């Protein structure tokens, strides 16, 4: 467990030095010059066209799983692609995203549930898709309809590494 980063510059540095297999973004989505963008911290904005492999992984790193917990992160895009598609195009193995606006507290709850399920899946040799299905079921069973709004992008059949 690491301290949260609050700027994209710091994010790139952490990706380069820590080589994470799991990237968790608790962000805000907005439009920046008509491009979907992710805001972390209070002022650090990254537009979809500015997502690069340096945001996702180091040159020799395995493809990480990205949890993109931000309003409508699974449906935000433009004529050139979606946010999750951009992350997979730049090296993410799979991306978990949301279909609509969510409250910050719901994003935190969903992120914690995703991380628990990925940890369990890693210990059992199961896939990202299996973990996402477990998250959806658990959230819906608890009455949190947010479970219906989580989607997977990329290769969700990859095995979660422990």
pLDDT band at 4 (very low <50, low <70, confident <90, very high): confident
- pLDDT tens digits, residue range 50-103? 999 999 998 899 999 999 999 888 887 776 788 999 999 999 999 999 998 888
CA-angle at 151, arms to 145 and 156, nearest 5°: 135
Question: Within a 13 Å sphere around the CA of 76, how many CA atoms are in the beta-carbon half?
Answer: 27
CA distance 17 to 14: 5
Sheet holding 94-98, edge to edge: 22-26, 65-69, 94-98, 150-154
1 pLDDT exceeds 80? Answer: no
């Amino acid at each position: 467990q690491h301290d949260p980063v609050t700027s994209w510059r710091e994010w790139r540095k952490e990706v380069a030095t820590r080589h994470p297999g799991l990237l968790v973004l608790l962000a805000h989505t907005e439009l920046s010059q008509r491009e979907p963008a992710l805001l972390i911290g209070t002022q650090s904005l990254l537009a979809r066209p500015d997502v690069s492999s340096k945001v996702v992984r180091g040159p020799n790193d395995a493809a990480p799983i990205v949890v993109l917990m931000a309003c409508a992160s699974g449906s935000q895009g433009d004529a050139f692609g979606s946010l999750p598609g951009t992350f997979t195009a730049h090296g993410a193995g799979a991306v978990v995203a949301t279909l609509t606006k969510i409250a910050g507290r719901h994003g935190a709850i969903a992120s914690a549930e995703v991380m628990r399920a990925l940890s369990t899946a890693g210990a059992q040799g199961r896939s990202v898709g299996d973990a996402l299905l477990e998250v959806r079921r658990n959230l819906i069973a608890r009455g949190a309809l947010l479970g219906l709004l989580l989607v997977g992008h990329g290769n969700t059949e990859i095995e979660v590494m422990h």
